[in-house]
Chain A
Amino acid sequence: MSGNAVEVRNVSKTFRVYHDRNQSIKATVLKGGRAKYEEFWALRDVSLDVPQGETFGLLGLNGSGKSTLLKCIAGILQPNAGTIVSRGRMAAMLEVGSGFHPELTGRENIYLNGAILGMSDREVDRKLESIIDFAGVERFIDHPVKNYSSGMYVRLGFSVAIHTEPELMLVDEVLSVGDKDFQAKCLQKFDDLKADGKTVVVVSHSMGTMRTFCDRAAWLEHGELQAIGRASEIVDRYTGKGGEAVELGDGIKRFGTGEIQFTDIEVLGEDGAPLDSVDPTQPVTIRLSFLAHEPIERPDFAISIRDAQQTAVFNITGHDREWLPERIPAGHGSVDIRIASLPVRAGGYHIVADVRAEGAETPADKVWGAKRFDVRHGDHRTSGGTLYLPSGFDGLRSGDATASGTLRLMPR
């Protein structure tokens, strides 16, 4: 296997978003042109290669442009700029059962759908048994498809599409059709395709599928390519679970794009001295020292104080306090987060620090466990709970004939 099944070069695609979608001649004449519109960039300068025989995933949020890219590869949409070259017979499964006619029988629809997907009648003749068998609709094959259950409908559509035996298969979210058994059959079929050296490009929101199913993946955001690489790595980075985070030793982990990085995280007492042990009644300052490798606009610093069970006892972000410096120049710096007191119960705690450009999906830097400290109660002890609140017992009264409150809680 050599060469690329798909080559996408500098592809951009814009859509017109109409303010007043009035498709009429009158509007055109009166306004001297069609209705006003804005350009919406669905894809911006995307380049990627899908080597032959690879299963390639496209991931991103809704509206990130992955389906648009798939449609451009399929030839349904035409990019405004750039080129897309694909080799070999292609089948696009952007929707299963496209073009089914509800009044026609399953058998008639197989021929119709097969023709739409580029199969000859003879080819369908040859594969008919297998198509019907795979879809599991033998008993209903001569009934109109409008009488099919939705499951049967999609199974038949999927079955026709998969039997086109394409060199290149484009799949959009159709791995989730049918029941568990059918899904297993589909995945088996895709594995067969893979084993035969066929190329598959898949869009899915199921990260599990992506991770196990795809060799490589590309991550799109707002129509721009964010990253491309091994599927598991891309999924980890996309989900931000830190799977790809770098271990720094001593249980410290780091993840992020790295424009700005934390250099140290300290907990300081009132006198400015670093602490490893905190009194819950005293003010503390958390100092985040950082190195900006490049200037960063409106950085959003955040910390999370977590206990040994990873429960966040306190989170604060710059955004929460509307504290977003306009711009931080390149170089070293630090920022203090002042906390009046940290009234939590005794135990071990650690700080997770995060900094990212305002509103960014991924942090520039995120560090777990960079600062660990204990909370000590001194002469105070509690037997559980989350908070430590200065407290005491007092005012014992006993042996009286009358109650001090109502008898609300006594049985009548």
Chain B
Amino acid sequence: MSAIAEPARARSRRITLNLLKNLTLREIRSEYKRTALGRVWSLINPLAQIAIYGIVFGLIFRAEPEPGINSGIHVFALWLGVGIVTWGFINVGIRDAMQSFLGYQGLLKKVALPRWTLPASKVLARAATYLTEVAVVAIICGILGGWEILLRIWMLVPLIALTIVFIYGIGLVLAVGIVYFRDIEHFWGIITQVLFYASGVMIPRNVVETVQVETLDAGGYTFLGGPVPLLAVFEANPIYQFLTAYRRVLYDFAIPEWQLLLSLTLWAVGTAVVGLLVYTRFQAKIVEEL
């Protein structure tokens, strides 16, 4: 009835957004279906991980990050917790998005719909899970570090938005790629393992710096004629940068440096542009390649 007054473009946008909303709800609702604890699992999982890595690395290997800048918190498990939940968000978000076209192939073959909504709904559902996880971590940080966390907590909004865009860009490229080459899934599994360590989820920057200065530089190791750029590579990793930014807000109670934010914005925009280019180029052919 109201469709007559509404321009076709606005109508199709509204339908697409509604589809995205419903697909996201589908993911969220179905994730913990038929479990007794339901959504509580999304709290238990990161807490368990924090406990495990905290004991192994904090207690046994004695890793020691620097104390929080404004918060004064000096708890490895908490520093680790911020990293773990954020890493989980990025890692699983990319993986889910990557598998979305394959997973929805039955639907893609039978219904015409804006296909980009499928990986997008996966990323958004993962973001929803992340919100509960990060809330738990933030509450603990607040309890230990003080109410001042509230002064900077708003920074999470742009940070999460940037993370979503970043994940979506990478996920979109992989989701299209995997339709053509199933090997990518396994290949990405290995990349993920490398990234886990390379992103400093549980390795503080000062540890890498120590290795750089005391072992590599002092030992005279060279790479392509220059010093081995271990620390530079470590810091150039966008996932490390994301983790650092989240730690600034949650662990240090500080605003991330503007250089860091600029870098994250460029990474997010860059991956999204590449993702959308790949998607636009190949999306029409996806159905017959599935």
* B52 sits at the interface (CB 8 A): no
**Chain A contacts of B180 at CB under 8 A?**
23, 34
> Residues 100-133 of chain A: 1 if any B CB is under 8 Å from the residue's CB, otherwise 0?
0101100010011011111111000000000000
A98 contacts B111, C-beta separation under 8 Å? yes
Tell me the dominant secondary structure on chain B's binding face. Answer: helix
Q: Which of A8-57 contact B (CB under 8 A)?
A: 15-16, 23-26, 28, 34
* B22 sits at the interface (CB 8 A): yes
**Chain A contacts of B25 at CB under 8 A?**
108, 111-112
User: Closest Cβ of chain A: how far from B90's Cβ, in Å?
Assistant: 24
**Chain B contacts of A77 at CB under 8 A?**
287-288
B182 contacts A98, C-beta separation under 8 Å? no
User: Closest Cβ of chain A: how far from B286's Cβ, in Å?
Assistant: 10
**Chain A contacts of B21 at CB under 8 A?**
115, 121
Measured in the bound complex, the distance between the Cα atoms of B16 and A115 in whole Å is 8
Measured in the bound complex, the distance between the Cα atoms of B110 and A92 in whole Å is 8
* A396 sits at the interface (CB 8 A): no
Interface contact tally, CB-CB below 8 A = 87
Measured in the bound complex, the distance between the Cα atoms of B19 and A16 in whole Å is 31
**Chain A contacts of B109 at CB under 8 A?**
76
**Chain B contacts of A118 at CB under 8 A?**
15, 19
* A74 sits at the interface (CB 8 A): yes
Q: Which of B108-150 contact A (CB under 8 A)?
A: 108-113
Segment from B27-35, B163-171, B207-215, B218-226 that makes contact with A: B27-35
* A78 sits at the interface (CB 8 A): yes
* A94 sits at the interface (CB 8 A): yes
Q: Which of B18, B106, B181: most chain A CB closer than 10 A?
A: B18
Q: List 5 extra interface pairs beyond A103-B30, A121-B18, CB under 8 A.
A: A99-B111, A104-B26, A112-B22, A115-B18, A121-B21
What are 30 of the A-B contact pairs (CB < 8 Å)? A16-B288, A23-B183, A24-B182, A24-B183, A25-B184, A26-B183, A75-B112, A76-B112, A76-B287, A89-B3, A94-B110, A94-B111, A98-B110, A104-B30, A104-B33, A112-B22, A112-B23, A112-B26, A114-B22, A115-B15, A115-B21, A115-B22, A115-B23, A116-B113, A118-B15, A118-B19, A119-B15, A120-B14, A121-B22, A144-B33
On A, residues with C-beta under 8 Å from B are 15-16, 23-26, 28, 34, 74-78, 89, 92, 94-95, 98-99, 101, 103-104, 108, 111-112, 114-121, 144
